[in-house]
Structure 1
């Protein structure tokens, strides 16, 4: 299946990332799949892999919104702000991890497509 639609390839990679989340290296696998489907140069694989990781991180955004809503109902405003900032920092690290590993997987996917 070789398509020229980058967003579709990234979405397929994101679904693979979420579906393979039990492996621990799912961002790499999802990014590699997206880049393999995309084809092209190393930069193309890097771009579609990172996009795949970003799309796979969207469910995390829903959890953040829910978490911020829960933290904001606390009695003390300082606790609510501190909890919200801590949650945002954790999410930023998790999204960065997913996007970076998906981009690495994208480079690997292009290498596999071109060399094998």
Structure 2
């Protein structure tokens, strides 16, 4: 694929991440797919891999948002704790997914450049 298809490559990598979510290394594999398709070296591979990880995190954020809809029905003390916990989980999960996808993108970009 051409270098100017960054968003398409990131979407393909995100799809690979979601499809392979039963494995423990799905963000790395999705990022590697996106980085390989980017075909512009490890630096751009890491960038498109990170974008892929952010896109792949959207379903996780959506699920947590649905669970957050129940917060108005609990006492305020528990709701405040729930909001903080949900925000912490979202930031942690998105950060880990983006970092692993960026590492996979770097590997994919390196493999495409060398082979």
- Aligned match of 2:91: 92
- Aligned match of 1:33: 33
Contact conserved, 1:64 with 1:88, CA < 8 A, in 2?
Answer: no
Structure 1: gaps (5+ residues) = none
Give the TM-score normalised by the residue count of structure 2.
Answer: 0.94
Residue by residue over 1:65-87, the C-alpha shift from the partner in whole angstroms, topping out at 9 and shown as x without a partner, is 1121112321x111111112112
Contact conserved, 2:41 with 2:112, CA < 8 A, in 1?
Answer: no
Instruction: Give the secondary-structure state (helix, strand or coil) at the position aligned to 1:23.
Output: coil
Deviation >4 Å, runs of 4+: none
Decide which moves more: 62-71 or 8-17: 62-71
- Aligned match of 2:53: 53
Decide which moves more: 57-66 or 22-31: 57-66
Q: How many residues align?
A: 114
- Aligned match of 1:72: 72
User: In structure 2, how many angstroms separate the alpha carbons of the residues matched to 1:70 and 1:84?
Assistant: 11
Give the TM-score normalised by the residue count of structure 1.
Answer: 0.93
Structure 2: gaps (5+ residues) = none
Contact conserved, 1:13 with 1:34, CA < 8 A, in 2?
Answer: yes
